[in-house]
Amino acid sequence: MPIYALGDLHLSLFVDKPMDIFGQTWEHHTEQIEANWRTVVNNNDTVLLPGDLSWGMTLDEAVPDLEWMARLPGHQIMIRGNHDYWWHGITRLRQTLATNQTAIQNDAVVAEGYAICGTRGWLLPSHPQFDVNDEPIFRRELERLRLSLTAASKLDMPIIAMLHYPPCSSNNHQTEFTEILESYNVKVCIYGHLHGPTHRFAFEGEQNGVTYRLVSADFVNFSPIRLNP
């Protein structure tokens, strides 16, 4: 069965956070996502969601968005993004999610013959806004990626890794994130976070055995893209 990916849904069914303030591309984006999703995804398919799912500040505020997602076809596997402020406490979150939704945190799951893992990631040290306060978060996310990849490697399957932040950039292909991904023989790494003009910083393609794909909603025309053959 197919595995699809779509990042940065930025849903706001409960909170007042219209995305069209970021440009015409985002007008009626929720309706665009639903229409495209239902066109390409079937109930037995899998959809990977690399973060920034809901603008809710608490889990209760995010529930309408999560329930809206759950009504879409397919099994959904998600990680946290930098704007998913509602993601606190993996146990309560997993108890809240629908039966067709799975949240990854320091672990891995199986989908269609692949081990799926991931973590949020963080700004790269080469980013102009990176400072001393970012360093411990960056190091923590590297370790969380290792934990998730270690769990994935025990499943003895090809690995697809999810990050929310880009693991590298168009002018910085080799980073500590990419080195870890390569060391675990990851086949595909998807990521999001980049929107509009910042799409130009994306790196897509194969490097040292890992294929990188940017799947931010506005980059892929608000439609899930297929990852496996």
pLDDT, tens digit (0-9, with 9 covering 90-100), for 57-75: 999 999 999 999 999 999 9
pLDDT attached to residue 14:
80
pLDDT band for position 20 (cuts 50, 70, 90) = low
pLDDT attached to residue 173:
87
- 8 A C-beta contact, residue 91 and residue 103: no
226: β partners:
4
- The pLDDT of residue 15 is above 80: no
CB atoms within 10 A of CB 20: 11
- 8 A C-beta contact, residue 127 and residue 137: no
Q: What is the pLDDT of residues 101-146, one digit of tens each?
A: 999 999 999 999 999 999 999 999 999 999 999 999 999 999 999 9
pTM: 0.96
- 8 A C-beta contact, residue 190 and residue 158: no
pLDDT attached to residue 180:
98
pLDDT attached to residue 13:
85
